[in-house]
Structure 1
Amino acid sequence: MVVPSTKAELLEAIATTFDRLTIDLARGSTDRAREASLAGHAAGTMMSPADLVAYLIGWNDLVLKWLDRDNRGEPVDFSEAGFKWNELGLLAQKFYRDHEALDWVSLLARLTEAKTRLVDTISARSDAELYGGPWYGKWTKGRMIQFNTSSPYANARVRIRKWLKEKG
């Protein structure tokens, strides 16, 4: 898939990768959703399909938080307060814990809700705001959104498809 460089392309990338992912997630089994049988986001750890969805929810919520803080003229903590970019495995584990009480169906609904809120906030922005200049280092706002939404959706789809194939 081409790296988005406009709002329309970003929205298309999110829609396409999310739709493909949700088809595969729907094939997952509720009774195996908490089975820690996938390689985790931190080296040497394991996670469940539910943890994978929690990870996506966590990143979607984090991107929304970044955009909200930016809208209010407040400083944005990239990646997240208390976590450095080289500690993303620890951040992933936090996301797993944040959503461990949710069942499979609730996790999937929560992911869809977060994605819808992202689409709404992206839709309210101009191409100039999203791609007109750097936002974090050399990266535009649109590119930072893409790095943390459609790219993880695509990665998660690869992981869940492999899991479905291995686990039947």
Structure 2
Amino acid sequence: MQSYKDKTELIEEIKKRYILYDEEFDGIKEDEKDMIKAGVDKTPSQNISYQIGWTHLLLQWESDEKKGIEVKTPTSEYKWNNLKGLYGSFYEQFGSYSLHEQREMLHNQVNEIIEWIEKLDDKTLFVAEQRKWATTPAKWPVWKWIHINTIAPFKNFRIQLRKWKKETGTS
């Protein structure tokens, strides 16, 4: 997994990968957002709903912990062994929005994540066990949770979107 020397480098990578990811939605028409294509496991709407869902959870975990609420990851309704159900809830919750609205939602959440990172001190961001919600057997520091829920899927899901666009002849 990629690592970062400081929060500035993490923020810059989020911005870069988000912009590239978001640009993949250019040219996808509203009436195409729910089209399924062979060899692509998500529609464009599902693809971005997944991102909205995870970035929302990341922000929610932090918000709840700051309020003194016990955080159950990934959610109190879904356990780690039922991620398929969690993804379905993301598609249901965010899939009814237009693609434009979904893009705007994700844009806003990415900005919130960047603002949050800017406020964190280096210890909280880069040292493990600084947040209860981030304390798992893997003992990941907060930055890894941020990376795995932003940068990594922004990179990986671009490939899916490109394949989907190729299958539909969208450019």
Normalising TM by the smaller chain, what interval? 0.7 to 0.9
**In the alignment, residue 140 of structure 2 is paired with which amino acid?**
W
Give the secondary-structure state (helix, strand or coil) at the position aligned to 1:74. Answer: coil
Show the counterpart of 1:126: 121
Show the counterpart of 2:55: 60
Where do 1:1-168 residues align within 5 Å? 2-37=2-37, 39-40=40-41, 47-134=42-129, 135-137=134-136, 138-168=139-169
For residues 37-93 of structure 1, give each alpha carbon's deviation from its aligned partner in whole angstroms, at most 9, with x where no partner exists: 3644xxxxxx32111111110111000001112222332211111212121111111
Give the secondary-structure state (helix, strand or coil) at the position aligned to 2:2. Answer: coil
Name whichever structure is richer in strand by fraction: 1
Q: 2:6 & 2:79 partners in 1: Cα distance?
A: 29
Please list every run of 5 or more consecutive structure 2 residues that lacks an aligned counterpart in the other structure: none
- TM-score, normalised relative to structure 2: 0.86
**How far 1:5 moved relative to its partner?**
4.9
RMSD of aligned C-alpha atoms? 1.7
Q: 1:68 & 1:162 partners in 2: Cα distance?
A: 36
Q: 2:94 & 2:76 partners in 1: Cα distance?
A: 19
Q: 1:20 & 1:145 partners in 2: Cα distance?
A: 17
Q: 1:2 & 1:141 partners in 2: Cα distance?
A: 14
Q: 2:163 & 2:28 partners in 1: Cα distance?
A: 12
For residues 104-141 of structure 1, give each alpha carbon's deviation from its aligned partner in whole angstroms, at most 9, with x where no partner exists: 11111111111111111111111111112233221011
Please list every run of 5 or more consecutive structure 1 residues that lacks an aligned counterpart in the other structure: 41-46
**How far 1:161 moved relative to its partner?**
1.1
